[in-house]
Amino acid sequence: MNSFSSNQHGVGLQVRGLRKSFDGQEVLCGLDFDVQPGEIFVIMGPSGSGKTVLLKHLIGLEEPDAGEILIEGQPILSPEVMSKFRMAMVFQSGALLNSLTVGENVGLYLTEHRLGSPEEIARIVTEKLEVVGLKGAEEKIPSELSGGMKKRVAIARALVIDPQLILYDEPTSELDPLSAVVIAEEIVHLKDRIGVTSLVVSHDRDLAFGVADRIAVINQGRILTIGTPDEVKRHPDPLVREFLHADFKRHASPLEQRKIEYEKHH
Amino acid sequence: MFQNIGEMVLLFWRTLVALPLTWRQRAKVFDQLFEIGPASLLMVCILSFFIGGVMALQTGPLLVERGLGNYVGGVVGFSIAKELAPVMMAILIAGRIGSAMAAEIGSMRVYQEIDALRTMNINPIHYLVLPRLVAIAIALPMLVTFAILVGWVGGAVVASANDRIAVSFEAFFSGLRDTVALKDVANGVFKSFVFSLIIGVVSCHQGLITRGGPRGIGRSVTKAVVNSIVLIVIFDYLLTRVLLK
């Protein structure tokens, strides 16, 4: 990661037989899947299905008990690969450094790795903040921002690396529907604009079917299905159908039922 | 416990190896120095002044009754320089700064800020631990030097003002000069340097291994302070034993 020159090509990711246990409890039970360069791949599943643990393996924050993760065919855990390919992660909470301003957060990678003069870094920060619609927010501190703004700053911080692969952890959780739409548009816009490979972990069905090129549904550390949004929608597995079609319906109270019956008869 | 000790030794070693990067992190070192120094100075003054005063009050009448009034300055000055100032200031800083370090790094750990640093290829030891350890290793010996001087003044004020002691300023400092050598002050300052490393390593380590939410942060802060104080007292004995030779 020695320069921040523009890169127009995303990288492919391969996961082979990935297993991980915590205190004897198996969280990932041999996952196998490929993410194609430049695609938006969404991993869906209920809470506690192992999505975030998988994501931490993909960015190198956790080491698997077995199996391997390859980027363009090379194991991710080797230091050369980590420095050869540019990967960024947008955390669920944004994970902005609270002691720094928005501008310092976005430019942190460049500042710490000395990849430009202060003026050049400031220019790049302004440019990336503009991309996510937060122009002029450089001097704000993270605690002044709403949840949606924090996530957009986190995306701007990821963009500074000029990534070939972006991992999103629950990008629309805790957001109102309008902010969720902005984030979803951002994910698609980035793919179209810089061809970055995006791997999104989410249990938000609207987001998944709205942005995904392909979707994997995961439950209890196992992949139930992988396919295009249409293929996944039509999948016959009862667990997949239950997850995709779960809906809340309020049962009518006895008084409301009598009212409905009365209206039917009259 | 042994795992924690091993991890702390490893953290200390990794920070030592990263020392050549200190210049790059100088802005953060200065930030930390300002965090530790000016914020602690008033407390250090008050604490050391009264420690000096109490020492004079406890030892003065006993020595004066036995006709050893000339030694009040020596006894007070010697015990402050070699023992009381380094240990008491280290305990004060462990409570004040060690707790803040553990809380800040602990909350960064809990709220995934440290994970975010790692995904940006930024080493948390270089970014967080190194500046804090360097700053506390500079600040504590300076504070202790200051505390020794203020403690002596406190002792002298009480010795001259208290009727049962009634040793003048001049007599107090004359006795002090006869008894306390520069080497004794250097011993005390050296001890405080070792204590500063203990506080820095223990507190940063506790912060980095924080688990859970706010309760986990609270637990880390408590452990950082308690473990630092226990290690300070143990190392105080060991250093005193070694430095006696």
Q: In the predicted model, is pLDDT for residue A6 greater than 60?
A: no
Q: In the predicted model, is pLDDT for residue B85 greater than 70?
A: yes
pLDDT-derived band of residue B141, with 50, 70 and 90 as boundaries?
Answer: very high
- When pLDDT is averaged across residues B134-159 and rounded to a whole number, the result is 94
Quote the domain boundaries for residue B138: 26-240
Q: Do B119 and A98 touch (CB under 8 A)?
A: no
Give B-chain residues touching A61 at CB under 8 angstroms: 115, 118-119
Model pLDDT, residue A23: 83
pLDDT tens digits along B175-185:
899 888 999 99
* Nearest residue of A to residue B115, measured between CA atoms: A61
Give A-chain residues touching B25 at CB under 8 angstroms: none
pLDDT tens digits along A126-150:
988 988 888 888 899 999 888 888 8
Q: Do B121 and A109 touch (CB under 8 A)?
A: yes
Model pLDDT, residue A249: 64
The shortest C-alpha distance from A59 to chain B (Å) reads: 7
pLDDT-derived band of residue A1, with 50, 70 and 90 as boundaries?
Answer: very low
Model pLDDT, residue A5: 42
pLDDT-derived band of residue A244, with 50, 70 and 90 as boundaries?
Answer: confident
Model pLDDT, residue B130: 95
pLDDT tens digits along A150-206:
888 998 998 888 888 899 988 888 777 887 888 888 888 888 888 889 999 988 888
Q: Are B180 and B79 in contact (CB under 8 A)?
A: no
Give A-chain residues touching B103 at CB under 8 angstroms: none
**Residue B5 in domain:** no
User: B135 versus A47: which is more confidently predicted?
Assistant: B135
Task: Give the closest residue to A86 by CA, choosing from A19, A162, A191.
Answer: A162
**Residue B20 in domain:** no
Q: In the predicted model, is pLDDT for residue A222 greater than 70?
A: yes
Distances (CA, A) of A144 to A103, A104, A153, A181, B214: 13, 15, 12, 21, 21
Task: Give the closest residue to B197 by CA, choosing from B34, B33, B23, B11.
Answer: B11
Give A-chain residues touching B112 at CB under 8 angstroms: 91-93, 95
Model pLDDT, residue A3: 40
**Residue B174 in domain:** yes
Q: What percent of chain A has pLDDT over 70?
A: 94
Provide the sign of the torsion angle of the four alpha carbons B58, B61, B65, B69, taken in this order.
positive
Model pLDDT, residue A8: 54
- Domains held by chain B: number: 1
- When pLDDT is averaged across residues B168-173 and rounded to a whole number, the result is 90
Q: Which two tokens stand for residue A6?
A: 């523009």
Q: Residue A169's beta-bridge partner residues?
A: A201
| H or E element that contains A70 | strand A66-71
pLDDT tens digits along B211-237:
988 899 999 999 999 999 999 999 999
**Residue B16 in domain:** no
Please state, in angstroms and rounded to a whole number, the distance separating the CA atoms of residues B141 and B148: 10
List of residues 6+ apart from B17 with CB closer than 8 A: none
**Residue B2 in domain:** no
Check if B120 contacts A (Cβ < 8 Å): yes
pLDDT tens digits along B109-123:
999 899 999 888 899
The shortest C-alpha distance from A183 to chain B (Å) reads: 19
- When pLDDT is averaged across residues B128-143 and rounded to a whole number, the result is 95
Q: Do A98 and B113 touch (CB under 8 A)?
A: yes
Helix, strand, coil share of chain A (percent; to 5): 40, 25, 40
Q: In the predicted model, is pLDDT for residue A2 greater than 80?
A: no
Please state, in angstroms and rounded to a whole number, the distance separating the CA atoms of residues B37 and B81: 20
Q: Are B141 and B193 in contact (CB under 8 A)?
A: yes
* Nearest residue of A to residue B109, measured between CA atoms: A95
pLDDT tens digits along A24-35:
888 888 888 999
* Nearest residue of B to residue A59, measured between CA atoms: B119
**Residue B15 in domain:** no
Model pLDDT, residue A250: 65
Q: In the predicted model, is pLDDT for residue B79 greater than 60?
A: yes
Catalogue all structural domains in chain A, each as residue range(s) with its CATH number: 13-86+162-265 (3.40.50.300)
Model pLDDT, residue A4: 40
pLDDT-derived band of residue A240, with 50, 70 and 90 as boundaries?
Answer: confident
Please state, in angstroms and rounded to a whole number, the distance separating the CA atoms of residues B131 and B200: 10
Q: In the predicted model, is pLDDT for residue A7 greater than 60?
A: no
**Residue B11 in domain:** no
Model pLDDT, residue B12: 95
pLDDT-derived band of residue A92, with 50, 70 and 90 as boundaries?
Answer: confident
Which of A135-139, A241-245, B151-155, B178-182: highest mean pLDDT? B151-155
Q: Compute the count of residue pairs across chains A and B with CB atoms less than 8 Å apart.
A: 51
List of residues 6+ apart from A61 with CB closer than 8 A: B115, B118, B119
Chain A interface with B: residues with Cβ < 8 Å: 1, 56, 59-61, 82-83, 87-89, 91-93, 95-99, 108-109, 112-114, 157, 161
**Residue B14 in domain:** no
pLDDT tens digits along A47-56:
777 888 888 8
Complex confidence, ipTM: 0.78
